[in-house]
A = this chain, B = another copy of it.
Amino acid sequence: MTKDKEKIEWYHDFIDRDYTPRDDDLVALFYFDKADSVSVDDLIGRLASESSIGTWTTLETLDDEIFKKRARAFWNTNNHVKISYPLELWELDNVPQLMSGIAGNIFGMKAVRNLRLIDTTLPVDYVNGSKGPHMGVDAIKRIFKKDVGPITSCVPKPKIGMTTDQHVQVAIDVWSGGIDAIKDDENLTSQVWNRFEDRVTKMAKARDKVQNETGEIKDAFINVTAETHEMERRVKLLHDNGFRYFMVDVVTTGFAAVQTLRNLAGDLDMAIHAHRAMHATFTKHYTHGISMYMLAKLMRLIGVDQIHIGTVVGKLDSPKQDVLDMRDMLLETEVKEHPDRNLYQNWGKIKGTLPVASGGLHPGVLPEVMKVYGTTNMALQVGGGIHGHPNGSHDGAKATVQALEAVRDGITLEEKAESHKELRQALEKWGYIQPI
């Protein structure tokens, strides 16, 4: 027996095709593309080994009790493999640790050319160890006092660069045009020309004024993205100024911070708007990285109340099936398996998270977006499609609301536009084009 053979055999101990996962096992589904230097079994054994108890060589320190804790590759076909993990490998309510295991070193192994974490079935015992959203879908009623969604929001554009006063003026125009919430863009935090504190106090004053004038409830998704304690300070400032929401870039801040903010949101009875900037560095290619579906699942688990998942029709990657799968995963209590796309999931006590459609939207595409989403349990984010209106942001907001009214009332945009000039002007500028 050569030394190489001895090594390989150890990896094969992590393959068990007779194994049926227990109800409390985690099960991860991967797509893989192996390096030429290894066999399929060499690779899937390595995946199970390196993401659980293993290393690259035989060990003197391994005993039966430890070996029981191993992961098992129990099914594979067509470059897909399912790996099961005993629950006791994991620490509850610690998403960074989960990802260090199932999405850690294995992606950097020379033995894999491509590897994609598609989905993970989290056992109910694991799921119930997390908090999930504080409000989730209930934010529509609890915060905006509306019977049905969508929640509408708008980013003042240009996305950054406006002074605080310019920013607030756009907010007033948009709020008073009928939009529920003003959203910061992902790269607006606290810059010299628009300081966070200044924005918060001025936005609060403007919000109160518009609420008084319109009788409608208004809020804002103000971006707190920063170092963790600074984020906590910013969230508290928002709370002290009467906002019920805050926004955070969940990928660039990271899992540990999002968990921390979720705890704070519960304490302060606030909701989290999750922006996903940077996700496409690892979600874009279907053969490598981590799926957007998996990222969205982790965010529901941690407990953001709403998260961007794509528009289908906008400027960003978002195939229709992906959006529908994520919508279901975010909203349903029990999610069915679809081979190669997603695994079964029972969400236990965890509330649903609202999906957010965003990116390149304008009034002309809203009927299509609402049709694809097939639910009003959602948030709809329009930026350039409001401010690019020929008559400015206020009329852009009105055009957006008019388009949604048309959808709600089951009439076409053309019909609605006959009696609503703001919508008509929007359609004249953009028609029904889909920006790329």
Residues of A within 8 A of B (CB): 3-4, 7, 35, 37-38, 51-62, 65-67, 69-70, 88-91, 93-97, 99-101, 103-105, 107-111, 117, 156-163, 166, 170, 186-187, 189-193, 225-231, 249, 251-260, 263, 275, 277-285, 288-290, 315-317, 359-360, 362, 383-385, 387-390, 392-393, 429-431, 433, 435-436
Contacts and interface: CB of A to CB of B under 8 A. Distances in A.
A225 B96 contact: yes
A228 B252 contact: no
A26 to B, nearest CB: 12
Given A101-B186, A282-B289, 10 more contacts: A38-B436, A52-B160, A55-B387, A57-B384, A66-B161, A93-B227, A94-B226, A104-B252, A227-B263, A228-B257
B103 A360 contact: no
A211 to B, nearest CB: 23
A278 B433 contact: no
Contact of A281 (B187, B260, B289, B430): B289
Contacts of A55: 157-159, 383-384, 387-388
Contacts of A385: 57
Given A3-B429, A61-B170, A191-B88, A256 B226 contact: yes
Contacts of A225: 94, 96-97, 100, 256
B107 A166 contact: no
19 contacts: A3-B429, A35-B436, A52-B160, A54-B159, A55-B384, A55-B388, A56-B315, A57-B430, A59-B388, A88-B193, A97-B252, A100-B186, A103-B252, A109-B317, A110-B316, A227-B256, A227-B260, A253-B257, A281-B282
A228 B259 contact: yes
Given A107-B278, A190-B91, A228 B226 contact: no
B226 A97 contact: yes
B58 A388 contact: yes
Given A91-B190, A108-B284, A254-B255, A56 B226 contact: no
Given A97-B187, A104-B187, A284-B288, A360 B56 contact: yes
A108 B257 contact: no
Contacts of A170: 61
A205 B370 CA distance: 62
A53 B285 contact: no
A390 B57 CA distance: 11
A33 B377 CA distance: 37
Contacts of A101: 186-187
Nearest to A56: B435
Contacts of A161: 52-53, 65-67, 69-70, 89
A159 B117 CA distance: 21
- Most chain B CB within 10 A, of A101, A161, A283, A429, is at A161
A212 B163 CA distance: 62
A435 to B, nearest CB: 5
Contacts of A96: 225-227, 249, 252-254
> What are the 7 A-B residue pairs with the smallest beta carbon separation, nearest first?
A254-B254, A104-B277, A108-B280, A107-B280, A256-B257, A66-B161, A253-B256
